[in-house]
Chains A and B, each alone.
Chain A
């Protein structure tokens, strides 16, 4: 049976191994946190679009992202309604209103979605009830996002406060979250929206939502065809996007053109470098300490290749041992981050990221292995008793 040399080498000194694992763990954690926040930037928009009941989105080309929109004429969606393959069109209005916390009486900017109560714009199950829709039709009412920051105050139905200096009553709740874009969100009827954000007229809309009929949804080519038909039929003052495309557009906005996107990307890079240095420290020391043993192995006839393998194996073992706890710590820190921000920050672990960070950890450790391995491979058999 082959001796697990790399494993025994590492295990030989317990304390050092523990410190080494701690080092890798924390490097992994920092990478996870930065990627998590970076992901939250993207997810912010993504999860809102995912909750909207539409296949095609029409927006103004001047719209930057979900909460920074440029209104365009509602006629555009009426034009789209006549196109083959379009089942239904719905307007959506987006704007910020000052929400007064009824307890502290401090105002804060609230992102408002205005929808026609006859349209099923949002897919959240808690919004589908007959009673909720009827309540939304009443003047001066809103549905309130439970994932709004706690600074907005109590969230329960029946709470009365002020929005844009007008009376407002919460008539229901839903779970959505505004991420980095908004600290809190509410849904109002279109009439209430224009009432609160006067002089905003209802013939200028922020999002045109288009549902396609079943035939066009059957496969992606027919979806693309309908999308193209709509784009061709509408003037160039609007752009037509599928749900994936609009989510990608927002993601690009957040990650590429905001300071936060840059900072978290830089954070990942720095954490990677530090992780590499930590592992390098460990491997280098380990090799330096076992120089005599490596030399002996060489004198016994083992090739440089064998020693190379041992060091790389050590690197990979460290990567695996450090990744596990790092993953667990990150999950609890994600939870901590979600709780601390009142659920407004959508940091969630996903499989793709977990795999991606594992690959990064392997690369990081192997890289340090490669840098330090040279010394072991060059071990001179004559050094055996030095």
Chain B
């Protein structure tokens, strides 16, 4: 038996395998085809589970803030008591004009928001849609479908329909004639925005003039709208001016009936509202946490099984003079390989499920590189920790048990 060269206790070499060219971890794993497939499937499903529930949680927040992010403006003005986007409180439009007088503010846009009854032209059933209205001359919501159809929007009784609305809305294409608020409506085009948990069914974009047509003379049971009160005011800042400074100035100088926020703060506030003050936010946080716990158990189980199966071999290696650290290194390498190989199919299946969920609900389910990386690091750590726990059993192995 050749003696291993003496090594310092914890150098990088410790984690390399003596004889350096035997890929022991790899062979251990692929030794039995069916077993490695089972193990990979296990890790993939753990990854899938985390992706799906994290995806739902993110979908909630992304969907709630996506409209805010898409709006063209650096500073947002709202009524002070509009705690989130779905409190139907407006502020006086002259605040917007006052704000435009400040040095550094370039443009001020008014956005009108209302909920309208949309008649599905095929089933004749009514669904509430969110109406976003603004002056079509102004780039308030610069989405491709909206910019192209600016001229069409100027015609009376016209609107653009969100093609990511829920299927209950009916066909989503240009040329449809239907009813909105029990008045005629001609759809002149479509754009893509999507639903969220408050505007559950979809969106309609129209000109401010048409907004008055539909909402200025409502039935006796509802408050009518005019263009004098604005739901969300948007301000763009001239280059070279600091947004935060301007927000502070406007907050100090404008009357206290409005709240001035930078767009990021506005989106952040919206997110916090959904995260902390709604049932749905709590529910998704709980489910995400649980999916992570299950993921850890699943991965641990896989690694533990693998080690338990090769117990005799590990004991043999110990008898041959491998140190505990060497064994740890093997197990950790296995963990890393499993994390890598299991992550990829898990990611791919998740992408399919995300697409399915997006099509079915119209929610925004995006998998950013950042989020995928987080889950990958999570899987990796999970595998490492499981491996480290599982290896303790090997380390306590008595070489004499080699044929036990």
Contact = CB atoms under 8 A, between A and B. Distances in A.
Interface of A: 13, 15-16, 19-20, 22-23, 26-27, 29-30, 33-34, 37, 62, 64, 68, 70-71, 98, 100, 106-109, 149, 151, 179-180, 183, 199-201, 204, 257-260, 262-263, 266-267, 270-271, 273-274, 277-278, 280-282, 284-285, 288-289, 333, 336-337, 340-341, 344-345, 375
16 contacts: A22-B297, A30-B291, A30-B294, A33-B287, A34-B287, A70-B126, A108-B83, A149-B279, A262-B360, A263-B357, A266-B353, A270-B48, A274-B298, A281-B38, A285-B35, A341-B279
Interface in B37-61: 38-39, 41-42, 45-46, 48-49, 52-53, 56, 59
A257 B280 CA distance: 16
Interface stretch (B1-9, B244-252, B304-312): B304-312
Contacts of A273: 45
Given A262-B357, A267-B287, A282-B301, A257 B87 contact: no
A62 B304 contact: no
B117 A23 contact: no
A270 B52 contact: yes
Given A107-B89, A108-B83, A37 B283 contact: yes
A15 B280 contact: no
A145 to B, nearest CB: 14
B83 A23 contact: no
Contact of B45 (A26, A267, A277): A277
A15 B301 contact: no
A327 B223 CA distance: 50
B144 interface: no
Given A277-B42, A281-B42, A345 B294 contact: no
A107 B117 contact: no
Given A106-B83, A260-B197, A19 B360 contact: no
A204 B160 CA distance: 32
Contacts of A23: 294, 297-298, 301
Nearest to B218: A199
Contacts of A340: 282
B290 A274 contact: no
B28 to A, nearest CB: 14
A204 B219 CA distance: 11
B293 interface: yes
Interface of B: 32, 34-35, 38-39, 41-42, 45-46, 48-49, 52-53, 56, 59, 81, 83, 86-87, 89, 117, 126-128, 166, 168, 195, 197, 200, 220-223, 277-280, 282-283, 286-287, 290-291, 293-294, 297-298, 300-302, 304-305, 308-309, 353, 357, 360-363, 393
A257 B166 contact: yes
A138 to B, nearest CB: 24
A259 B361 contact: yes
Given A64-B128, A259-B362, A337 B282 contact: yes
Contacts of B291: 30
Nearest to B38: A284
B29 to A, nearest CB: 14
A284 B89 CA distance: 60
A352 B291 CA distance: 24
Contact of B87 (A107, A183, A204): A107
A151 B277 CA distance: 7
Contact of A263 (B56, B89, B220, B298): B56
Nearest to A30: B290
Contact of A266 (B81, B280, B302, B357): B357
Contacts of A108: 83, 87
B357 to A, nearest CB: 6
Contacts of A106: 81, 83
B167 to A, nearest CB: 9
